[in-house]
Structure 1
Amino acid sequence: MFYENPPDVYGRLSEHFESLSIPPVIHKVMAREVLDGRGQPTLQAELHCIVKGLEQHLSTVTMASTNLLMESAPVEKKEADEKERQEFVDAALQFIQGPITEAISGIGPANQGEIDENVWKILMKFQTEKEEEERKERERAAELEPPPPEPAKEEKTISPKGKKKLGSAKSSTVVMEEPKEPMLPGCNAACVVSQAVTLAAAKLSKIQPFEHIANLYSSQEQQEYELPLLMVNLLNSGKAYPGKQNLIKELLLIPKPGKTLRQSLKQLTAIHHQVGKLLFPKLGVPGLYVNDFGGYCPQYDRPEQLLDLAQEAITALDLTPGEDIFIGLNCAAHEMFDLDKGKYETAQGMLKLPDDMIEVYADLINRYPAIIALIDPLKKQDVEQWRKLCERFSEQCFIIVDKAYSRAETLLKQGFGELRSTAVSLKLQQMTSVSTITEAGKLIKENNAAVVISSVLGESPDSFLADLAVGVSSRFVKFGAINRGERICKYNRLLEIEDMLISQDRIKATVTFGFPVIKPPEPEETAEDENKQE
């Protein structure tokens, strides 16, 4: 220290003795019920650590509440979902302030993987106990119930001509509605605790949260950071909205690579306001109403109407669609699929088979070259059509899967399998931890696909997702429209990160989209071909 000659001798001494102190450890996690951006109950967690012998409050996180129901779901299902959400919050509060705090107390916040693993084991233990209780309950009920009577045999009557009536034939494909995944009430505790630990560890390390997440994501220290491109909600339509068209649920704006985030946000915000100016003379004040994603919801009967409106707003600002601003479409194929008919209902009364859908998208992409992303264009069961879509358009368009891997744990457990896509959407929800997201991100990139970090419908005014997206080097972020506090805080955090990286000369520019290409397999050479070559 004599040779260093520090300007603050006592400050330098305090740093020296601090380095000799016992490493900080978790003391307790406090949790409370708060509200998300929709006024729904959700969780807030505070992490307290013992630092240099004293208890300190290091981080506070408010998590998003998960909404798995389709927007067009009946009221009865939505009411049941609200009741279940409250049960999950109540159970999570008990988990956090009981067994979870006991399990992670005394562990350093830097041990993210160990903490997430401990929390997961606790939840699995309770899940196993719950399943065992349900099994015993079913056995008791079966013992008390008398066996059902044998059904009477019915004689089949055959028409004289042995023919079915015209129009009575049905599709040979049997389509079953996908059952809701059973989840342990309170499992959402894992997500909020994991985020709180990440923020606390970053604070103790005196680095930014995105830097700490990058260290978790990669074993090598990252010198430069590439900011994700934006996917901003502009228009919403589909089964839950007025109008006949179901093909487009969300129309998203994507800026040209190479611009700063600040420049991109200014352009996208101007387009959002321009659409409002175009809708107001036609629809009045109702034309300015927005949904929970923040996008406008005009009544349209054809998908072209949404695309034309977006392009009109873009060109009105002297910007060129397909050059300055690009378009992404969230098709939400599982929502437009008619279970009774076994076909996609792209518009009221217009039914399409999976192979037909490829031509529907081909027509749109050819007529609107600005389209460079399709989210959930097909159901996950249509594996062959996903492959064909990727082979045909992956050189010019991201084919993004969202619904098939609704949780990152599902992707890690099942892998990619036969379902082909060029990008995967990841969300922090339910029991998904930060460790799970980082591991899923690695798996996605190992399979030559891009990562999209997406928000959920019940977002909270918390900016953690922005740091997560930068930390795992995601290609896109999908946070909704540029309005309302629960979304603006995330965009503002990205701006803050950009300014920080520019001032430190640590930002890496995104020059191109870099489409991950899936090529069709090359035809095998036959004996006849070999003879011709000879």
Structure 2
Amino acid sequence: MESQEELKDQAIAYYNNNKVPMRMQEVLNAMFHVQPEDVNGYVSKYFEDLSMAPTISKAVAIRSLDNKGCCSILTKLYCKVRNNEKLVGESRVCIDSELVDSCKDEDKDTEDGRTAEVDDAINLINNEIQNILISKTPSHQHALDEEVYSFVETRRIALLEKNEDRQAEEATPQPAIDDNKKGSKKSGKGSGKKKNTQIAIVPDKVKEVLYPGSSSVTALSQAFCTASAVLAGTSVFDHLIQSSGGDDYSICLPLPVITILQSGKAALGKSNCVKEFMVVPSPSMKFSEAIPAVIKLHGALMRLLCAKGGVTAKNVNDFGALCPALDKPEQGLDMIIEALSQQGLEMGKDFFFILNSSAHDYFDYEKGKYEVITGALKASEDMADFWTDLCNRYPSIIGIIDPVRPEEAASWNKVCSEISDRCLIITEKGYDRPGLLKNQTLDFHQFATSGLVMRLTGCNTVTHITECAKKMIDCGNTVMLAGGENESNSTLLVDVAIASKARFIKLGAPARGERIAKFNRLLELEEELGERRTQWGTLEFPVIPPKLPTPSPTDENETSTES
């Protein structure tokens, strides 16, 4: 056994090595001048500031349920804080479907597919990814986001290469065509049937294949956010602003884009061209005035629909929106304008319209036209006139999301050149996901927008969202962050929107707890921020000029010859 003298020497060495006597002397001297009422609290706070930075001890993911009772991911982040393991952050991530409303029934996501993605993400978090997080500092948001994303992205690329190799091996060579047999059939007049003329349809962008369990990326990114804010004793948006190197004192709260009515291809009625009728308050209106006004608007429309169609007419969908049977979009617009005027408010002054067209939903891929109203088809080149006419008759429309398919560049550019001077041309499907978009060089001569919708889902990290938002704002675009059909009570989206300087946040309707929680967060921040809160300026509409056709080499040669 060690003697008392040896133990004493070891204790003295241990305390001196950790500067305990010096620290005790410092705190006692400082405390004497302050003479605080809570002596132990003062000493505790002094040593707390000197303690080691918290480090991640484990990450635990389990199954949870979203607002629709579907499988989702609950991720809990534990850290070693002053020698104790504590739960410091968590996130709830829901899995949305990315299919259009008009897809075939057999193509629609099943709960089995959603559950498989959830289980794969949980397995990644609880095993492989957890091993790379141990002892890391959660406040290093950017570094952790990049490390987790790179881990999953590397496996995605490897999986793609493996699938390509397998497909190449399985591909069977096509038999050679005997030239002697070509044209063996008679080609005389009337010898064959009349040829079918097919419309050339620009295909949709190929859907990206993500690595199974990619939702683990955003699940952990959101958990890092909440953990860092808790440990720093600050709000999530302040943590994000500081971690990105910003020092903004003034804060602009995102304007809520609120879904009032839902229509579209999958809804009742003949009108297909507007999936969501949304309203946004004027920047000069306080949230404490705007949100109650929207709730009254929602209630007034509910009573109006009940009077016409009975009590079932007040039922709402997954977005919390009312779903009347509309035969044309003007009916929905007029209905909202009338209900708003009954409250003494004016559309175009107090509130404005933003329409979610979601053109992919009502595009007929067999006929190559847009079925704007059931039975009424419009060619792609006619869609610009359609939207121009609607915006001329309803000047309170300040934004349209995907008015045509972004893949149809000529039609998209024509819409932009016609109405971009008074209406934001916003896309949700026109660009790659934020993780890819933030590193891409944008060619606005080929495809231009004045707004972008982003979602904090899939393998998008919080860092991807904030960096991509900065890039698009610098390019003159307005940013809108959006929730999904499947949601939780988390209000993180509001804080990320603030840190991203998003002008709009798409929240759905003022119904159901998961959405009301986000409205309440906006109301709380309006009061808490005080002098830090600044109002948005006048909304600017960046004019997108018509695109001139690129001259062919033949044209250039002819021009040079003539000169």
TM-score, normalising length: structure 2: 0.86
Alignment of 1:207 onto 2:234: yes
Equivalent position of 2:500 in the other structure? 472
Alignment of 1:323 onto 2:353: no
Equivalent position of 1:411 in the other structure? 437
Contact 2:254 2:498 in 1 (8 A): yes
Equivalent position of 1:456 in the other structure? 484
Counterpart pick for 2:541 among 487, 512, 515:
515
Equivalent position of 2:105 in the other structure? 75
Q: SS at the partner of 1:3?
A: helix
Q: What letter matches 1:317 in structure 2?
A: Q
Contact 2:285 2:350 in 1 (8 A): no
| Residues 496/197 of structure 1: CA separation in 2 closer, same or farther (3 Å cut) | same
Partner Cα separation in structure 1 for residue 192 and residue 262 of structure 2: 46
Equivalent position of 1:378 in the other structure? 404
Equivalent position of 1:491 in the other structure? 519
Q: What letter matches 1:372 in structure 2?
A: I
Equivalent position of 1:15 in the other structure? 45
Query: Larger Rg: 1 or 2?
Result: 2
Q: What letter matches 1:380 in structure 2?
A: P
Report the Cα offset of residue 441 of structure 1.
0.8
Partner Cα separation in structure 1 for residue 436 and residue 337 of structure 2: 37
Unaligned runs of 5+ in 1: 523-534
Alignment of 1:196 onto 2:223: yes
Deviates more, 1:480-489 or 1:80-89: 80-89
Q: What letter matches 1:31 in structure 2?
A: A
Partner Cα separation in structure 1 for residue 175 and residue 478 of structure 2: 56
CA RMSD of aligned residues (A): 2.3
| Residues 314/388 of structure 1: CA separation in 2 closer, same or farther (3 Å cut) | same
Report the Cα offset of residue 248 of structure 1.
0.7
Contact 2:383 2:415 in 1 (8 A): no
Report the Cα offset of residue 348 of structure 1.
2.0
Report the Cα offset of residue 164 of structure 1.
7.5
Report the Cα offset of residue 457 of structure 1.
1.4
Deviates more, 1:293-302 or 1:129-138: 129-138
Partner Cα separation in structure 2 for residue 156 and residue 244 of structure 1: 48
| Residues 296/124 of structure 1: CA separation in 2 closer, same or farther (3 Å cut) | same
| Residues 286/6 of structure 1: CA separation in 2 closer, same or farther (3 Å cut) | same
Q: SS at the partner of 1:451?
A: strand
For each residue in 1:71-100, what CA deviation from the matched residue of structure 2 results, as whole angstroms up to 9, or x when unmatched?
33333222x543222111111111101111
Counterpart pick for 1:92 among 121, 125, 138:
121
Q: What letter matches 2:415 in structure 1?
A: L
Contact 2:101 2:361 in 1 (8 A): no
Q: What letter matches 1:93 in structure 2?
A: I
Report the Cα offset of residue 161 of structure 1.
5.3
Report the Cα offset of residue 124 of structure 1.
2.5
Unaligned runs of 5+ in 2: 1-29, 549-563
Contact 1:292 1:457 in 2 (8 A): yes
Alignment of 1:447 onto 2:481: no
Deviates more, 1:511-520 or 1:20-29: 511-520
Q: Which structure exhibits the higher relative contact order, with contacts defined as CA atoms closer than 8 Å and separated by 6 or more residues?
A: 1
Q: SS at the partner of 1:346?
A: strand
Alignment of 1:115 onto 2:144: yes
Equivalent position of 1:304 in the other structure? 330
Q: SS at the partner of 1:409?
A: helix
Report the Cα offset of residue 518 of structure 1.
3.7
Contact 1:63 1:462 in 2 (8 A): no
Report the Cα offset of residue 307 of structure 1.
1.1
Deviates more, 1:40-49 or 1:207-216: 207-216
Equivalent position of 1:278 in the other structure? 304
Deviates more, 1:381-390 or 1:195-204: 381-390
| Residues 383/491 of structure 1: CA separation in 2 closer, same or farther (3 Å cut) | same
Equivalent position of 1:341 in the other structure? 367
Counterpart pick for 1:105 among 134, 142, 151:
134
Partner Cα separation in structure 2 for residue 215 and residue 311 of structure 1: 42
Contact 1:216 1:438 in 2 (8 A): no
| Residues 13/255 of structure 1: CA separation in 2 closer, same or farther (3 Å cut) | same
Q: SS at the partner of 1:404?
A: coil
Partner Cα separation in structure 1 for residue 441 and residue 191 of structure 2: 49
Equivalent position of 2:289 in the other structure? 263
Equivalent position of 2:265 in the other structure? 239
Q: What letter matches 2:497 in structure 1?
A: A
| Residues 394/216 of structure 1: CA separation in 2 closer, same or farther (3 Å cut) | farther
Q: What letter matches 1:215 in structure 2?
A: Q
Report the Cα offset of residue 385 of structure 1.
3.4
| Residues 475/164 of structure 1: CA separation in 2 closer, same or farther (3 Å cut) | farther
Deviates more, 1:338-347 or 1:511-520: 511-520
Deviates more, 1:89-98 or 1:60-69: 60-69
Report the Cα offset of residue 163 of structure 1.
9.7
Q: SS at the partner of 1:196?
A: helix
Contact 1:386 1:421 in 2 (8 A): no
Q: What letter matches 2:201 in structure 1?
A: V
Partner Cα separation in structure 2 for residue 135 and residue 328 of structure 1: 42
Equivalent position of 2:465 in the other structure? 437
Q: What letter matches 2:255 in structure 1?
A: L
